[in-house]
């Protein structure tokens, strides 16, 4: 990418989260990821560069080791003309969800992260004849806390995602509670996985998006987005699944297409790849908590019918869901056990701020840092080093919870 010849008209809004905003190039298979900050919080250009570079280093030294090279794209930090960034910010402002506009795109440093656009394929010739589909899923946390530090009994029965659904609907972020439960998706049981994926399709919120040849065809930005239309989605997908059969249209066609889509996604999620380096994560103790979330509509329906919920069938060790769950389960203490450790680190740094570098608070995220994360000990020796290792793990657990598939 030639940073010296940048035209904002060649880029379009792709999406954003709490901390970053992404734009995609209209022709080339690349995206730019910019950091976002509240209007009253500014950082120096050097701080922005170091922040982005730490993301790249973390991907290379930590996440590639955990998940394997096939599943991690680290990108590179690029410096862009400030005029281009400012004009781009003005161009895309009207496309941003109102709920996300409390933070502004960084237009002062000129730094961004350049990554491949996985919603498009650049080198495949069959793209001209059949649509290229990309399904983006944020699976969220796939287990119920089993830490002895948990004091709220409900947290031993209901997963974090299902609890937060009630909060988000009550505060107006979403219109209705989703029937999706992460534990159903992570169960490995196809019946439960199918229900979870159909629930995501019914109420996608910001946890599922579908792109066709790089263009978003399904998904919503916020509570003001229109209700998802399965018939419109089926219209887009029919040539992919049924290019030449007699399904003309109507409810039967829609159900058939959605059913086939769910089956394909399930098959992909349960498949593994033997190419490249496998993830090097050493499995920790298996989940000792419940394998079923009591708030899952799937499980509640079966209980009303007097049936038992199908247990986990077990995820194949080579599949991405298994790898993601293993990273999430590096959190052995839950937030209730981790917060006192976080306060310990915070108080120590207030007294000895020069120790940030020695403790690798801001990196470098190298092999030594990675080895610290592999420490599975739970016996607190009272040191700052112990506390920092566990607090770091919580951050990487939440990184894994947000991974797209």
Question: In Å, how far are 158, 179, 260, 272 from 315, measured between CA atoms?
Answer: 21, 22, 21, 10
pTM (2 decimals)?
A: 0.86
Residue ranges and CATH numbers for the domains of the chain are: 8-117 (3.30.200.110), 136-326 (no CATH), 330-401 (no CATH)
**Nearest by Cα to 275 from 46, 68, 79, 80:** 68
Backbone angles phi, psi at 64, to 5 degrees: -65, -35
- Token readout for 311 is 């247990």
Backbone angles phi, psi at 50, to 5 degrees: -65, -40
The predicted structure's pLDDT at residue 276: 39
Q: Hey, what long-range contacts does 272-277 have (CB within 8 A, 24 or more apart)? A: 272/316, 272/317, 272/318, 272/319, 272/320, 273/68, 273/70, 273/318, 274/318, 275/70, 276/68, 276/69, 276/70, 277/64, 277/68, 277/69
Q: Residues 6 or more apart from 15 whose CB is under 8 A from it?
A: 21, 22, 209, 216
The predicted structure's pLDDT at residue 389: 79
Q: How far is it, in rounded angstroms, from Cα 35 to Cα 89? A: 12
Per-residue confidence in pLDDT tens, the chain, 405 aa: 666 679 999 999 998 988 999 999 998 999 999 999 998 877 899 999 999 999 999 899 888 888 888 889 999 999 999 999 999 999 999 999 888 899 999 999 999 999 999 988 765 555 556 678 899 999 999 999 888 888 888 999 999 999 999 999 998 888 889 999 999 999 999 999 999 999 999 998 889 999 988 888 998 765 555 556 888 898 888 888 876 655 666 677 888 999 999 999 999 999 976 443 444 555 554 555 678 899 999 988 888 887 776 666 689 988 989 999 988 888 888 888 889 998 999 999 999 998 888 888 877 888 888 887 777 677 788 888 888 877 776 655 555 455 444
Q: Assess whether the previous peptide bond of 364 is cis (omega < 30° from 0).
A: yes
Q: Is 141 helix (H, G, I), strand (E, B) or coil?
A: coil
Q: Residues 6 or more apart from 357 whose CB is under 8 A from it?
A: none
**Nearest by Cα to 77 from 50, 105, 103, 104:** 50
Backbone angles phi, psi at 386, to 5 degrees: -60, -45
Question: In Å, how far are 224, 277, 323, 385 from 65, measured between CA atoms?
Answer: 40, 8, 11, 22
The predicted structure's pLDDT at residue 236: 87
Q: How far is it, in rounded angstroms, from Cα 399 to Cα 79? A: 25
Q: Which residue in this structure is represented by tokens 């599922």? A: 208
Q: Residues 6 or more apart from 204 whose CB is under 8 A from it?
A: 218, 219, 220, 228
Question: In Å, how far are 114, 117, 254, 345, 391 from 268, measured between CA atoms?
Answer: 27, 19, 21, 41, 33
Encode 228-241: b = buried (16+ Cβ within 10 Å), e = exposed.
Answer: bebeebbebbbebb
* 65 membership: H or E segment, kind and range: helix 64-67
- Are the C-beta atoms of 370 and 57 separated by less than 8 Å? no
Please report the DSSP string for 3-63 in residue order. Answer: TTS--GGGEEEEEE-SSEEEEEESSSSEEEEEEEE-TT----HHHHHHHHHHHHHHIIIII
The predicted structure's pLDDT at residue 357: 83
């Amino acid at each position: 990418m030639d940073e010296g010849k940048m035209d904002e008209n060649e880029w379009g809004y792709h999406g954003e989260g709490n901390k970053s905003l992404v734009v995609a190039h209209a022709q080339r298979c690349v995206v730019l990821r910019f950091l976002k900050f509240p209007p009253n919080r500014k950082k120096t250009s050097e701080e922005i560069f170091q922040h982005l570079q730490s993301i790249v280093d973390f991907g290379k030294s930590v996440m590639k080791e955990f998940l394997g090279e096939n599943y991690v794209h680290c990108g590179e930090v690029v410096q862009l003309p400030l005029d281009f960034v400012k004009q781009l910010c003005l161009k895309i402002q009207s496309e941003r969800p109102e709920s996300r506009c409390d933070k502004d795109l960084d237009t002062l440093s000129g730094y961004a992260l350049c990554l491949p656009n996985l919603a498009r394929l650049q080198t495949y010739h069959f793209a001209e004849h059949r649509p290229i589909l990309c399904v983006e899923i944020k699976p969220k946390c796939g287990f119920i806390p089993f830490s002895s530090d948990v004091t709220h009994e409900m947290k031993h029965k209901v997963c974090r995602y299902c609890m937060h659904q009630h909060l988000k609907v009550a505060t107006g972020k979403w219109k209705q509670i989703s029937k999706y439960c992460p534990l159903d998706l992570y169960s490995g049981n196809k019946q439960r996985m199918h229900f979870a994926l159909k629930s995501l399709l019914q109420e996608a919120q910001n946890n599922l998006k579908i792109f066709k040849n790089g263009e978003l065809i399904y998904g919503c930005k916020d509570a003001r987005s229109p209700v998802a239309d399965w018939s419109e989605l089926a219209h887009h997908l029919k040539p992919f699944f049924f290019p030449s059969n007699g399904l003309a249209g109507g409810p039967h066609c829609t159900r058939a297409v959605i059913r086939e889509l769910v089956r394909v996604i399930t098959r992909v999620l349960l498949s593994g790849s033997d190419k490249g380096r496998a993830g090097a994560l050493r499995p920790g103790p298996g989940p000792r908590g419940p394998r079923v979330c009591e708030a899952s509509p799937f499980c509640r329906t079966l209980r009303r019918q007097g049936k038992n919920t199908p247990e986990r069938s077990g995820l194949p060790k080579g599949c991405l869901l298994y790898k993601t769950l293993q990273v999430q389960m590096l959190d052995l203490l839950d937030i209730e056990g981790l917060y006192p450790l976080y306060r310990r680190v915070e108080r120590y740094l207030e007294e000895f701020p020069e120790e940030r570098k020695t403790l690798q608070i801001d990196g470098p995220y190298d092999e030594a840092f990675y080895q610290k994360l592999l420490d599975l000990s739970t016996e607190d020796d009272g040191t700052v080093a112990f506390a920092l290792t566990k607090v770091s793990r919580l951050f990487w657990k939440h990184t894994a919870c947000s991974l797209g598939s």
